[in-house]
Structure 1
Amino acid sequence: MTKKILLIVLIVLSVTFVSGCTNLAKDFSEKFGNIEKPDNIESSAESASDLLSSETDVLYQVSTIDALLQGVYDGVLPVAELATHGDFGIGTFDGLEGEMLALDGNYYQIKTDGIAYPVSGEMLTPFAIVTYFEADENFRLEKPVNLTELENFLDLNLPSENLFYAVRVNGNFSYIKARSVPRQEKPYPKLADAVSTQSVFEFENISGTLVGFKAPEYVKGVNVPGYHLHFITEDRNAGGHVLDFEMENGDAAIDITSEFFMELPTSGDFYNVKLGQDLQNDMEKVEK
């Protein structure tokens, strides 16, 4: 008799425990939602590309400016894939062959003849910066300004020195000086040496668009602190990396870009090069 009573008590306790666990699981599910154990991490989480595809205020970058300064010129990402991250941007191509400019979803390669060539999706880039351009601020520039004066004007109208900004300026230029660098062969020289063979173009009385970015000072080595601008003519036939200009008038637009995503090379020279050395000196040589 005692054994039967004990058995009944155990059964009742078991039913109560299972019922309690079921209710607890139900309450947890109602409060936090169903949580399933993934088969693997990749299948259970959105990839970085998926996350970026839903965001327009993301600056997407391939490699680092310091790697480019040190001669890491092998292309690592096809332009077709780069274009999924932005319709606006700048960069270069495999072997440092020319200047990249993306505007309104069209990608161009400005070679040492100064001509802007349409780019095929198979072409590779070792370094590029792109975003989907959506203007947050617009300014009309009625008075003539040079490169330094334009930068100072924009600086006065930026909400913070610590964010990234995409910069687009449609203007009429009395003069503009630009450059492009020829394709390099291995062993690759440093960028400061490669630009010694650059081609320089001078345009007069021409309309066109400045395309580029303003990066904060703290990204030194990762990106170019300050302004980095490329130029393309209104007819999209010529341009280059901007060295100087005199602009009569124009319209400036700023896209405040609060998110930054960088994709690093996973092989090649990037793995072996020593980064973070003599950055300031190398950058000054490149911008001359």
Structure 2
Amino acid sequence: MITKQRYISVFAICLLLVFAGCAGLAPQNTVTQISTIDALLTGAYDGSMTCGELLKHGNLGIGTFDRLDGEMVMADGVVYQVRADGKVYAADKTLTTPFAAVCRFSPDRAVAFAPGATYEQVQAALDKAAPNTNLFCAIDITGTFSRMHTRSVPAQTKPYPPLAQVTSHQPEFVMENVSGRIVGFRSPAYVKGIGVPGYHLHFISEDRTQGGHILAFEMANGAGAVDVCDRFLLLLPGKDAMFGAADLSVDRAKELEAVEK
């Protein structure tokens, strides 16, 4: 028999679920991605979702902006834009994105890193903490870095060049003895063509003045957490003419490797 008190509790939970659904909030353990990485590689840079809408799907994530105007860092429910000048700007909620990946971060386990760890050693520690590489893994790290090497990308004008061409002339930044935050994802190998297999991480400094897409770093000290995600939601820009015209039949793995590294 259901008691009155238990009935009220169940009813309250149902209401919370209904309101969450009405608000369009994404469930836990879900990575939501806007468009595909191969579409971005072809030059499909027109934004299809506002930052305000994107925040309904998560509070941590990475991506870029309309016309490829810089690197996106989403941390604690705030969207930051690292432009080609290397400076960080608070992104207006009306700005749009052609490509982003976000989640509602809920840490499963903490991760410690050895002092002086390199990017590769940090990846190894994360892999040990979350060994199932067939699931998605959201990453949140806070630390001090003896060296942080990042890049950003400048806004493009039509006709948009392919991403590999843009990044061949990308602005790069080297920061020394900087404290800040790393956020991003480790994605399974089978997302090839859809997402970025392996690690895709962005950085923002503690004072919110510097950041970008991470190319390499050396960590003085730091700690982090991982959120293993077993759901993946792909939202395609169905009304975007550039996405519809993109040739997504080509294997762009080599282009992606050049762009990421």
TM-score (norm 1): 0.81
* Cα deviation digits, residues 133-174 of structure 1 (max 9, x gap): 111010222321111111122112214111001001111100
Number of the residue aligned with 2:51: 79
Contact persistence 1:85–1:130 (CA under 8 A): yes
* Partners of 1:194 and 1:146 in 2: CA distance: 27
Q: Which has the higher contact order (CA 8 A, sep 6+)?
A: 2
Once the two structures are superposed, the pairs formed by residues 52-67 of structure 1 within 5 Å of their partners are 53=25, 55-67=27-39
Q: Structure 1 205/54 Cα, relative in aligned 2: closer, same or farther at 3 Å?
A: closer
* Cα deviation digits, residues 54-93 of structure 1 (max 9, x gap): 6121111100011001110000001110011111000000
* Partners of 1:81 and 1:203 in 2: CA distance: 32
Once the two structures are superposed, the pairs formed by residues 269-284 of structure 1 within 5 Å of their partners are 269-284=242-257
Q: Which amino acid aligns with 1:275?
A: L
Larger helix share, 1 or 2: 1
Contact persistence 1:146–1:247 (CA under 8 A): yes
Q: Which runs of 5+ in 1 are unaligned?
A: 1-45
Q: Structure 1 128/152 Cα, relative in aligned 2: closer, same or farther at 3 Å?
A: same
Helix, strand or coil for the counterpart of 2:56?
helix
* Partners of 2:119 and 2:249 in 1: CA distance: 28
Residue from 91, 100, 112 that aligns with 2:63: 91
* Partners of 1:280 and 1:237 in 2: CA distance: 32
Aligned residue-pair number = 242
Residue from 212, 217, 232 that aligns with 2:189: 217
Is 1:132 the counterpart of 2:101? The answer is no
What's the offset of the Cα at 1:263? 0.5
Contact persistence 1:58–1:260 (CA under 8 A): yes
Bigger Rg over Cα: 1
Residue from 145, 157, 162 that aligns with 1:190: 162
Once the two structures are superposed, the pairs formed by residues 101-180 of structure 1 within 5 Å of their partners are 101-180=73-152
Q: Which runs of 5+ in 2 are unaligned?
A: 1-17
* Cα deviation digits, residues 10-55 of structure 1 (max 9, x gap): xxxxxxxxxxxxxxxxxxxxxxxxxxxxxxxxxxxx9x96596261
User: In angstroms, what is the RMSD of aligned CA positions?
Assistant: 1.6
* Partners of 1:163 and 1:174 in 2: CA distance: 31
Identical columns (%): 45
* Partners of 1:221 and 1:244 in 2: CA distance: 23
TM-score (norm 2): 0.89
Contact persistence 1:52–1:58 (CA under 8 A): no
